[in-house]
Amino acid sequence: MSWQKEVDELEERRRLAAKMGGKDKVARQHSFGKMDVRQRIDSFLDDGSFREVGGIAGKATYSDDGEIEDFTPANMVFGRGEIGGKPLIVEADDFTVRGGAADAAIWRKVVLAEQMAGELRLPLVRMIDGTGGGGSVKSLEDMGLTYVPFCPGWEFVVANLSTVPVVGLALGATAGLGAARVVTTHFSVMIKGQSQIFAAGPPVVKALGEDHSKEELGGVAIHARNGTVDHVVESEEEAFEATKRFLSYLPPSVYSLAERTEPTDDRDRRDAWLIEAVPKSRQEAYSMRRIIESLVDKGSFFEMGKMYGQGVITGFARLGGWPVAVLANDPSYLGGSVTANGAKKTERFVDLANIFHLPVVNLVDNPGFMIGLEAEKAATIRAGSAAMSAVYEAKVPWASVIIRKAYGVAASAMSDHTRFQYRVAWPSGDWGSLPLEGGIEAAYKTELAEADDPEAHLKDIYTRLDRVRSPFRTAEAFMVEDIIDPRETRPWLCDFAELAQSQLEPGKGRNSFRP
């Protein structure tokens, strides 16, 4: 006896599921310039690599004789696929089915996707478009009751943050639980003009007397600058490429180490322009990003969070093929001062590097924490102390290059001073408890008041102290480990990246990660 009839029914159910929300709903999705859920998965993954789980889950209608008449699939598709031959888990919302709302969701699929990623120790990519299985007022009438809110499977969402790389892609307007799923990640992406993120969307907010468009309430202009998301792109294709790049620097889970790629750049490359990269004037800005690009393997720097906490630069790169986490100050933004947002950005990035065992390269030009009334209102010292704690809790190998300024408590967080200091300074190094320019007149107030010519006397004091602030005086006392020609920095860092490998210890329990 054959099971052909049942197999035929299975194929029919699969055909009906492939219709998604129906021809009209799919056409509407495409009219907005958006891919449908199947196109997204196919575009992102290696050809033919997707193995779906629960593809025939949904809601069916039956004839009087029990034959299936129609079928509406669940509004989330998930399964295992590959990128460059490496496995990962993908879960993707289908906005064509009830806009991703709860009354079309099968919550067990979302839970199982999270559980699958964690237990198989594979990276997880969430493609969010809609409420992501969140609430719908219509479903309350269908149920005939309301309920106390809860998030099934959130324990797996939290556990995955300390286990596997998690990426959230906002591919449309996302609200409530959908928005939470985007940002409860290690790397989140929005698309200009296409993505919005809200705790609640414009119709709900309007009840409070606020009338905003989707873009005004939750567009890129807001969330890329407030730190809600890490990256902004122009299209879905760019979002997928950014995701692939992000994952390329990380191991599949905390239980393994990130892979080295075949080096394509000379580890001993010494760019001649670096000797004049830092201006002689301490007040003049320069491009830290250009220095980063010069020091790391060519084309390997991948920056994250560029529009948030802009005095701090964070991203991944490679040195001699080895992946590293790059942390730097940006002197072109508020002189590189660490704001509250910059400190929060630092804390999260250092935790990310520690979780996934990436050595840290810190390029220092830090004049200190941002000061003034607004800085105090922003609780800068609290945020800064938390960032310092993250640095001291990190167990990964750490290299610091003092490019120019290193002042105050903020600069003391360049590394954990209790550990071996793999650290050098450039001849442009300038450090201390506070800048001389800000303290001389206060420290010498009485002396200046008694001087016959206070202005000439002040110049004399500056001349004397300029000799004292020479970085070579600090090196004589071995209070900085070494001073190098800036052109020697890349070989020195490549040595560090290779030496660091023997210190890396895969495994869980190093610390937790909170988005």
pLDDT in tens, 420-429: 999 999 999 8
**pLDDT score for 105:** 65
Distance CA 454, CA 460 (A): 10
Query: Could you tell me which of 134, 122, 38, 47 has the C-alpha nearest to residue 78?
Result: 38
Helix (H, G, I), strand (E, B) or coil at 422: strand
In this model, does residue 400 exceed pLDDT 90?
Answer: yes
The residue among 240 and 96 whose pLDDT is bigger is 240
DSSP 8-state code for residue 259: P
Average confidence (pLDDT) over 310-315: 97
Distance CA 302, CA 314 (A): 9
- 3-class secondary structure for 205-216? HHCCCCCCCHHH
Beta-ladder partners of 87: 82
**pLDDT score for 514:** 78
In this model, does residue 464 exceed pLDDT 90?
Answer: no
Say if residues 190 and 167 touch (Cβ distance below 8 Å).
Answer: no
Return the sign of the alpha-carbon dihedral for residues 462, 467, 469, 471: positive
Distance CA 295, CA 315 (A): 14
CATH number of 272-503: 3.90.226.10
In this model, does residue 104 exceed pLDDT 60?
Answer: no
Two structure tokens written together for 304: 């994250």
Give residue-wise pLDDT tens across range 17-45.
999 988 999 999 999 999 999 999 999 99
Give residue-wise pLDDT tens across range 185-209.
999 999 999 999 998 888 888 888 8
Say if residues 228 and 197 touch (Cβ distance below 8 Å).
Answer: yes
Please tell me whether the overall predicted TM-score, pTM, comes out greater than 0.85 for this model.
yes
For the ranges 5-19, 53-67, 130-144, 454-468, which has the lowest average pLDDT?
A: 130-144
Mean pLDDT taken over the chain = 90
DSSP 8-state code for residue 427: T
In this model, does residue 439 exceed pLDDT 70?
Answer: no
Give residue-wise pLDDT tens across range 119-151.
999 999 999 998 655 555 666 666 677 767 778
**pLDDT score for 455:** 79
- Burial of 160 from C-beta contacts in 10 A (0-12 / 13-18 / 19+): buried
Average confidence (pLDDT) over 75-85: 95
For the ranges 18-22, 110-114, 221-225, 445-449, which has the lowest average pLDDT?
A: 445-449
Say if residues 81 and 49 touch (Cβ distance below 8 Å).
Answer: yes
Report in angstroms the alpha-carbon separations of 452 from 39, 45, 80, 222. 81, 77, 81, 56
**pLDDT score for 149:** 73
- Burial of 125 from C-beta contacts in 10 A (0-12 / 13-18 / 19+): buried
**pLDDT score for 102:** 57
Distance CA 391, CA 301 (A): 22
Distance CA 494, CA 476 (A): 26
Two structure tokens written together for 201: 């969307």
**pLDDT score for 434:** 59
Residues of the chain with CATH 3.90.226.10: 4-248, 272-503
- Is residue 430 very low, low, confident or very high in pLDDT (cuts 50, 70, 90)? confident
DSSP 8-state code for residue 420: -
Pairing of strands 51-53, 76-83: antiparallel
CB atoms within 10 A of CB 96: 27
CATH T-level assignment (fold) for domain 4-248: 2-enoyl-CoA Hydratase; Chain A, domain 1 (3.90.226)
Return the sign of the alpha-carbon dihedral for residues 376, 379, 380, 384: positive
Return the sign of the alpha-carbon dihedral for residues 277, 278, 279, 284: positive
CB atoms within 10 A of CB 85: 7
**pLDDT score for 510:** 58
Say if residues 173 and 201 touch (Cβ distance below 8 Å).
Answer: yes
Helices (H), 324-444: 340-355, 373-377, 380-393, 408-412, 436-443
Distance CA 100, CA 102 (A): 7
- Is residue 296 very low, low, confident or very high in pLDDT (cuts 50, 70, 90)? very high
In this model, does residue 300 exceed pLDDT 70?
Answer: yes
Report in angstroms the alpha-carbon separations of 320 from 136, 446, 474, 505. 52, 56, 31, 20
Give, in degrees to the nearest 5, the angle at Cα 480 between 347 and 422: 55
Average confidence (pLDDT) over 484-488: 97
